[in-house]
Amino acid sequence: MDNMTIGLFVLSGAILILAGVLYKLHQQRVQVREQVARERAEREKNEQSRKLKKQQNEIGENLFKILSKAASQNLLVNMLPEGRKGRGVGMIEIERIQDNGGSYNIFVSIPDPSCLTLGGLRKAGYALMQISINMEKDCIYIFKGPYGPSADYKVKDIYLVCEKLGFWIESFKLYQECPDFAEVFQVVK
């Protein structure tokens, strides 16, 4: 082999090595771009989720206040038909869990130490209803305890839900005739 052929082999080998290095640099650059794009998408998703969670908590807190006010105005909840108070039975209580499986939950109950069921979060009593607000699913779910029925609403209907829940809680009576849940919430039985 002459010097020219050897030089061409060396030059072509150097070109192949340089091409390999450039290809590796290109691949690393593509990977970095993809990683940056994934991180940006994750940040945007987290930011959107944080905004929804904040909005969910604001709606839940407002509903909690409305229901607490309605419960405080219901002074007949535990009155027997003959006009005396049911023994050991308390007034309507409103409790909440702000982040329960991604939902804001409100529990409406009447405490009664003689009751064998859990009414509310930590007390024996009568569980009247659970309200779950989930912004990611765009849903307000209302379950009438202990066995139903239930009703679903879109979050945009929050004012209607507040009005209906406030009315029902304010007029609920444990021992006397009161508005039927299914009628108030137009639930098909």
Tell me what the pLDDT averaged over the chain comes to.
85
User: What's the CA gap between 138 and 97, in Å, rounded?
Assistant: 18
Give the pLDDT score at 187.
60
Q: Which residue has the tokens 């945009």?
A: 156
Angle between helices 3-73 and 158-171 (to 10 degrees): 30
Q: Where are the domains of the chain?
A: 1-189
Check residue 85 and give its pLDDT.
Answer: 81
Higher local confidence (pLDDT), 27 or 147? 27
Give the CA distances from residue 22 to residues 10, 19, 26, 29, 88, in Å, rounded to whole numbers and listed in that order.
18, 5, 6, 10, 82
CA dihedral (116, 122, 123, 125) positive or negative: negative
- The residue with greater pLDDT, 49 or 1, is 49
The residue among 98 and 4 whose pLDDT is bigger is 98
At 9-52, the pLDDT tens digits run 778 888 888 888 888 989 999 999 999 999 999 999 999 989 99
Residue 125, φ and ψ in degrees, nearest 5: 160, -165
Using the predicted structure, report yes or no on whether residue 188 has a pLDDT greater than 60. Answer: no
* Mean pLDDT to the nearest integer, 132-151: 87
Model confidence pLDDT, tens digit, residues 149-182: 888 899 999 898 899 999 988 888 888 777 777 7
Give the pLDDT band (50/70/90) at residue 189.
very low
Radius of gyration for the alpha carbons in the chain, expressed in angstroms and rounded: 32
pLDDT one-digit tens code per residue, 60-90: 999 999 999 999 998 888 888 888 887 778 8
